[in-house]
Every structure is written in C-alpha cells, then in structure tokens.
Amino acid sequence: FGANKWYLLTKVDLPLASPSIRAGINQTIMLSLAMVVVASLIGAKGLGEDVLEALQYANVGQGILAGFSILFCAMILDRIVQGGRR
C-alpha cells in the first residue's frame, strides 16, 4: 500500500523485532558464560578453570573471586547488548 519492502523492513519489522532480537542475544551470552564452567570440566582454560579448581579443593575465596569475575563479565556484556536501556 505504497511502502516498498526495504522501507517495511527497516521502519516496521526490525523496530518491532528488536526487543526479541536483543533478548535472544542476551540469552546466548548468558548461556555461553554458564558454559565456561562446564567447559572447564573437559580441560578448557579460562575463568571456569578457576571455579572448578576452587570447587575441587574447597577454596571458598578463589571460588567467590572467580564467580564474581564471571558475574562482572555477564553484567558488562548485558549492559552492552541492552544499550543502557531498562
């Protein structure tokens, strides 16, 4: 009815879908950060290795520090994806 496909895509469809797209990206990031710890079980290096080591040796301080590191990464990535909106 007077609007071409490109206009409908950029001005109608994408703005309506952007909250769902951002939510999907956010969930993917959070899932990948959760997998950091699981990946350490098969020998992957990184923050998950510190969490696993803390669990194995009952080192509470190291576990809290590594957990907060992952939490901090999650919070920063969430703010980037959300663009400061909430």
pLDDT of the chain, 86 residues: tens digit per residue: 688 999 999 999 999 999 899 899 989 998 988 898 888 888 888 888 888 899 889 999 998 998 899 889 988 988 888 875 65
Structure tokens given for 53: 């080591």
Domain count, the chain: 1
Domain hosting 72: range is: 5-82
pTM of the model: 0.71
Neighbouring CB atoms inside 10 A of 78's CB total 15
